[in-house]
Structure 1
Amino acid sequence: MTQGLLKAPKLSPSAGAPTRRPSAWSRSTFWAGRHQMQGLYSTGRWLSAAGSIWTMLLMVLIVTDVLGRSLLNAPLPRVPEIVGYSIVAIVFLQVVDSVLSRRLARSDAWSESIAKRRPVLAAAMMAGFQMVGAVVMGIIAIATLPDLVESWRYADYFGSQSDLAIPVWPFRAVVVMCAGLASVAFLVDMFRTMADAPMARANTREMLRFAAMAGVAVTGLTIALLSFQSGFGIAVTLVVCMVLLVLLGMPIAMALAGLSFVGVWLLREDFLTAADMLKIAATGSIQNQLYGVVPLFVLMGLVVNEARIARDAFDVCEWLLGKIVGGLGIATVAANTVFAAITGISIASAVVFTRVAVPPMLDHGYSGRFAVGIVAGSSVLGMLIPPSLLLIVYGIVAEVSVGALFTASIIPGVILAVGFALMIYAIARFAPSFAGVTAHAARKSYPSAWSRAPEAKETPRTALAKLSPIGLLIVAVLGGIYCGVFTPTEAGAVGAALALCIYAVRAVRIPGLSNWPALWRLLIETGQVSVSILLLIIAANMYTRMIALSGLPADLVQLVVAVEMPFAVLILCYLGALLLMGMVLDSVSIMLITLPLMLPILASFDVDLIWFGILTVIAIEVGLLTPPLGLSVFVVKAALGNSAITLRDIFIGTSPFVGVMLLMIGLLFIFPQLTSVFQ
């Protein structure tokens, strides 16, 4: 998704800045002391561990409720309310560790370039961004404190005294405590950034110049905002500033929440009202059972990856398709399609298949650019084939059924996968200089799929055994949703539980897989990825409130009506904007910035939001493959390690996939009924 989701948790210097010997000032500073830093880091890790254990308990609770309801007609009481309150607590329990590990979602579109050329400037910018994060989290903690006191004083509870009454104050106490610690963590990280920066005299002058320029920019922006007489000007200015800050590397959630807070403050001319809205967004916007789908599906995907199920799927697809021209590439697409049906994260597919599929393709004569292009290009299926985290985010923001989105994405996802396979076949057959393979080499390299020859890697029996775990997960998760047996959140819990059971069974049978510290690491990773996504949803809720208060959506609707813009032209302009933004912003950021502006306009056209969601996801996913950001491309490059394959090679290799995705967008635009086949 973003750079912040990819880095391993560690105490590192500023992103992109080279490690330097600390100055005398930093060595003598309390905040830079290793003992104090490690103490806060350990606290964050323990809180994150508590959140991970809480997530596991929620999984057990939901699965027990599903079994009790389905088998015994005896559902557990108050499960939706418990899950809703728990998700809020889990997010704040794990936010401290995410801040200190620098795992909050952010874009590196410009920040890495600035860090390489002007490391002091990059450090100063990062310190400023961390200060904003400290202020946002501090406001949430302070604004939630009165609610904590009130719930304690009046013994507020949810549920009923007749079956199950659960007090509210412990959940609010977690929010207040952890938001306050997150504010401190941002400040500590800010001082760490400053301590890691070089303190030579010339660099000090550069930092002072930057501070002066930043002060002038903030003063000018403040004067401009105060001079606006309408909410339209305030909203447009803040949206532009938001995009710029995200491009510069500010954590996306902090950019959305911080500037939206400023916008509400200016629009209502009341600081307390803005603080109250930020508190409501932080504690109330995700207080719903639906949001439990995020950590549960993330957990399922990570456990499936650790269980080496993707490698088994690739082995079987390689065995079945190896004799076809370009068969290994087609096998990669097929395995990616199957893997996408249980992960929902494109970057997971990119990492796994870079390690699994690229080496055998290179061994069988594929060119480096073609091999890595296939992996990066087909990885985008993870965001379209259900269950997809991007579809879940869209469903939450657009307030449409996540299950309906999953159903609608099946046919477009299959068509896109088939299009990728046909494109690979055509390139391998008719452009061998690009692909690096020939029809003769492809046919000669593999035995028949049903051969009993000793050199055959698989037999029908072993192939079925390898595909049975992933088949079980697909049937349980997607079958349960489509048949109405359980909700998407319950499907995530059932899928995560089944994935853990499969991992346990395979750990006994496969040597070297039973690595319980690795499983614990996956639980921590689940929390860090989930927090990044859920914090974005919280910030987007605040952003939506600011946009609604400004009247900007209504002004845009009036503008569209006034110019009598046809619907087709509107959609084409929207898709063009998504494709351009996809070159510099990550998928979730694009969606959260554009949807609050676009959805009110679509209401006047009576548009099917399910179809619009599938179209939006495909258009946004093109950005994963296009420069300069191209997140899937950077993930593949990082997974390759030291390799002669350059970023330019990978971008060239993914260009045919971009063409197929653009054709798919056109196909959906002409035939919107493709999303309603199973409705």
Structure 2
Amino acid sequence: MSPFEITGLMFASMLLLMATGLPVAFCLGSVGVLSALFLWGTASLNVLYFSVLNIMNNFVLIAVPLFVFMGYVLHESGIANDLFDAVHLWMGRLRGGLGIGTVAICAIMAAMVGVSGAATISMGVIAVPAMLERKYNKDIAIGLVQAGGALGFLIPPSMMMIMYAFVSGESVGRLFAGGVVPGVILAVLYMIYVGVRCHLQPQLGPAISDNERASWGEKVSSLKGLILPGMLIMAVLGCIFFGVTSPTEAAAVGATGALACAAIRKALTWKMLMETAQKTLNVAGFTALIIIGAIVFSKVYTGLGATAMIKSAIVGLDMSPWIILIVMQLSFFVLGMFLDDLAILFLCMPIFLPIIKALGFDPVWFAIMYVVNMQMAYITPPYGINLFYMKAVAPKGVSMGDIYRSVIPFVVIQLAALILFMIFPKLITWLPDLLFG
């Protein structure tokens, strides 16, 4: 069998196993190990073992559990409640104001947490019931929280970007800088959509009643809840962007700072510390299993020479590089409906990155477009993770059909933004070039 045929058989076997409900990490790992045994015998297991060991010892990966821990500590310390209270006081009198403010909170939480689930769950528990209670349209209320939660992929510090840097060898700092402007643009587009639609159709997002409106003194007082998270965000990103520390060391600064914030708020208890440590271990362990499975799988088809053959075949085609780029983006979108973002990263990037570089495209620009695609994957039926997060915390009366329907406008916005970033690469590359040259 040719390398192409073996690689196709491996992917087909993986998808077949996934259809049985087996976790993706075990689907990848088992197909990779069995393929290696079939192709090269038991000696190949030693090669796979040392490959995994070498990669898992990478210093960059230490940032993942540290940033996750930081996010969970901030989440458990009640900062999300303070943020929503401030938004309620400042934005509630506008049509759609609570929705617009909730998107802003999701963006702030993305800059504090770096993962999608925390903002989606927090705002699903806090903001969705509050908006529904004030007669907000159900689709807008749950849709904007899911889309806003996915900003954690794009706004630094992003776990996805750390993993991308680990796979590609790109600078974490450049990737973080590349995500800032697109993240802000997407958040603003969500806000504009909610604001315009609620202005044209006031019944979809009515303003709060007169007796709920706050005085200027109450509004100013509510801003104190922004001080601690604002200082922590600036400390972490400032350490990275200005070269004070490496991203991994900045993650340690963030974790320590989050503990300090919790202590100042008198929320740092032994019980909270144990719960956040357990949640961090669960997320980090799950991530490590996917990485190991994907490494084993990708090492086999790389060892077959399939990666080099695909690169040579595609680069040698008499086809516009832009067509090849668009096909890659479409493949990310389709795979994102069924596969975990990390699995897509480890399976596709060994093939796609050499092609992108050979075609002369900016690798940071390509990376951010991949991350935007993974944002869409997290809210795209049937298997978008944020859809299930929302179902887990949504009030009674919110069906899975409601959740699926609610994300459609936001997927369209994300797709429009992706096209915008493709047409105007400087939206992504301007800040990295400014900060890092």
Measured against the shorter chain, the TM-score band is over 0.9
The residue that corresponds to 2:261 in the other structure is: 502
Find out whether 1:451 has 2:222 as its counterpart. Answer: no
Q: Which moved further from structure 2: 366-375 or 303-312?
A: 366-375
The residue that corresponds to 1:553 in the other structure is: 307
Equivalent AA in structure 2 for residue 553 of structure 1: T
Asked if 1 retains the 8 angstrom alpha-carbon contact of 2:95 and 2:202, the reply is no
Change in CA separation of 1:445 and 1:609 when aligned onto 2, cut-off 3 Å: farther
- Alignment partners' CA distance in 2, 1:535 and 1:521: 21
Specify the SS of the correspondent of 2:265.
helix
- Alignment partners' CA distance in 2, 1:387 and 1:429: 34
- Alignment partners' CA distance in 2, 1:245 and 1:401: 35
The structural deviation recorded for 1:543 is 2.7
The residue that corresponds to 1:257 in the other structure is: 29
- Which of 110, 114, 132 is the matching residue for 1:344? 114
Which residues in structure 2 correspond to 1:8-23 (within 5 Å)? none
The structural deviation recorded for 1:584 is 2.1
- Which of 222, 235, 255 is the matching residue for 1:476? 235
The structural deviation recorded for 1:327 is 0.2
The residue that corresponds to 1:653 in the other structure is: 406
Specify the SS of the correspondent of 2:319.
coil
- Alignment partners' CA distance in 2, 1:658 and 1:491: 32
The residue that corresponds to 1:270 in the other structure is: 41
Equivalent AA in structure 1 for residue 309 of structure 2: D
Equivalent AA in structure 2 for residue 333 of structure 1: V
- Alignment partners' CA distance in 1, 2:268 and 2:56: 35
Asked if 2 retains the 8 angstrom alpha-carbon contact of 1:232 and 1:551, the reply is no
The residue that corresponds to 1:232 in the other structure is: 4
Asked if 2 retains the 8 angstrom alpha-carbon contact of 1:281 and 1:538, the reply is no
Identity %: 33
- Alignment partners' CA distance in 2, 1:459 and 1:442: 15
Asked if 2 retains the 8 angstrom alpha-carbon contact of 1:329 and 1:374, the reply is yes
Which residues in structure 2 correspond to 1:384-463 (within 5 Å)? 384-432=154-202, 435=204, 437-438=205-206, 441=207, 444=210, 447=213, 451-452=216-217, 458-460=218-220, 462-463=221-222
The residue that corresponds to 1:525 in the other structure is: 279
Tell me: higher relative CO, structure 1 or 2? Use CA pairs within 8 A at least 6 residues apart.
2
The residue that corresponds to 1:465 in the other structure is: 224
Aligned length: 432
Change in CA separation of 1:445 and 1:382 when aligned onto 2, cut-off 3 Å: farther
The residue that corresponds to 2:75 in the other structure is: 305
Find out whether 1:382 has 2:152 as its counterpart. Answer: yes
The structural deviation recorded for 1:515 is 4.4
- Alignment partners' CA distance in 1, 2:37 and 2:412: 45
C-alpha distance after superposition, 1:323-360 (max 9, x if no partner): 22200000000011111101011111111001111122
- Alignment partners' CA distance in 1, 2:17 and 2:355: 26
Equivalent AA in structure 1 for residue 213 of structure 2: P
Equivalent AA in structure 2 for residue 314 of structure 1: F
- Alignment partners' CA distance in 2, 1:256 and 1:604: 28
- Which of 403, 423, 430 is the matching residue for 1:670? 423
Change in CA separation of 1:445 and 1:421 when aligned onto 2, cut-off 3 Å: farther
C-alpha distance after superposition, 1:190-238 (max 9, x if no partner): xxxxxxxxxxxxxxxxxxxxxxxxxxxxxxxxxxxxxx2x222112210
C-alpha distance after superposition, 1:259-290 (max 9, x if no partner): 222333344x2311x21122113321121221
Change in CA separation of 1:672 and 1:585 when aligned onto 2, cut-off 3 Å: same
C-alpha distance after superposition, 1:55-114 (max 9, x if no partner): xxxxxxxxxxxxxxxxxxxxxxxxxxxxxxxxxxxxxxxxxxxxxxxxxxxxxxxxxxxx
Instruction: Give the root-mean-square deviation of aligned CA atoms.
Output: 1.8
The residue that corresponds to 1:630 in the other structure is: 384
- Alignment partners' CA distance in 1, 2:331 and 2:95: 37
The residue that corresponds to 2:435 in the other structure is: none
Asked if 2 retains the 8 angstrom alpha-carbon contact of 1:257 and 1:278, the reply is no
Specify the SS of the correspondent of 1:357.
helix
- Alignment partners' CA distance in 2, 1:308 and 1:479: 24
Change in CA separation of 1:551 and 1:514 when aligned onto 2, cut-off 3 Å: closer
- Alignment partners' CA distance in 2, 1:357 and 1:369: 13
The structural deviation recorded for 1:476 is 1.1
Which residues in structure 2 correspond to 1:238-249 (within 5 Å)? 238-249=10-21
The structural deviation recorded for 1:495 is 0.6
Which residues in structure 2 correspond to 1:349-360 (within 5 Å)? 349-360=119-130
The structural deviation recorded for 1:527 is 1.0
- Alignment partners' CA distance in 2, 1:286 and 1:300: 21
- Alignment partners' CA distance in 1, 2:62 and 2:118: 20
Asked if 2 retains the 8 angstrom alpha-carbon contact of 1:323 and 1:445, the reply is no
Asked if 2 retains the 8 angstrom alpha-carbon contact of 1:392 and 1:402, the reply is yes
The residue that corresponds to 2:346 in the other structure is: 592
Asked if 1 retains the 8 angstrom alpha-carbon contact of 2:86 and 2:219, the reply is no
The structural deviation recorded for 1:370 is 1.9
C-alpha distance after superposition, 1:602-632 (max 9, x if no partner): 2321221111111001112212212111211
Structure 1 runs, 4 residues or longer, greater than 6 Å off: none
- Alignment partners' CA distance in 1, 2:179 and 2:211: 36
Specify the SS of the correspondent of 1:459.
helix
Q: Which moved further from structure 2: 367-376 or 337-346?
A: 367-376
Find out whether 1:321 has 2:81 as its counterpart. Answer: no
Asked if 2 retains the 8 angstrom alpha-carbon contact of 1:386 and 1:409, the reply is yes
Which residues in structure 2 correspond to 1:59-98 (within 5 Å)? none
- Alignment partners' CA distance in 1, 2:179 and 2:358: 25
- Alignment partners' CA distance in 1, 2:210 and 2:322: 49
C-alpha distance after superposition, 1:276-322 (max 9, x if no partner): 12211332112122111011011001101000111112222232222
- Alignment partners' CA distance in 1, 2:419 and 2:211: 37
The structural deviation recorded for 1:599 is 1.6
Higher helix proportion (structure 1 or 2):
2
The residue that corresponds to 2:356 in the other structure is: 602
Asked if 1 retains the 8 angstrom alpha-carbon contact of 2:95 and 2:199, the reply is yes
Asked if 2 retains the 8 angstrom alpha-carbon contact of 1:364 and 1:445, the reply is no
- Alignment partners' CA distance in 2, 1:542 and 1:285: 11
- Alignment partners' CA distance in 2, 1:390 and 1:345: 8
Specify the SS of the correspondent of 2:380.
coil
Asked if 1 retains the 8 angstrom alpha-carbon contact of 2:153 and 2:374, the reply is no
Specify the SS of the correspondent of 2:431.
coil
C-alpha distance after superposition, 1:124-170 (max 9, x if no partner): xxxxxxxxxxxxxxxxxxxxxxxxxxxxxxxxxxxxxxxxxxxxxxx
| Structure 2 stretches lacking a partner, 5+ long | 433-437
Q: TM-score, with normalisation over the residues of structure 1?
A: 0.61
The structural deviation recorded for 1:466 is 0.8
The structural deviation recorded for 1:391 is 1.1
The residue that corresponds to 1:619 in the other structure is: 373
- Alignment partners' CA distance in 1, 2:349 and 2:87: 38
Change in CA separation of 1:240 and 1:601 when aligned onto 2, cut-off 3 Å: farther
- Alignment partners' CA distance in 2, 1:517 and 1:360: 28
Find out whether 1:535 has 2:289 as its counterpart. Answer: yes
- Alignment partners' CA distance in 1, 2:290 and 2:173: 21
Asked if 1 retains the 8 angstrom alpha-carbon contact of 2:77 and 2:268, the reply is no
Specify the SS of the correspondent of 1:651.
helix
Specify the SS of the correspondent of 1:645.
coil
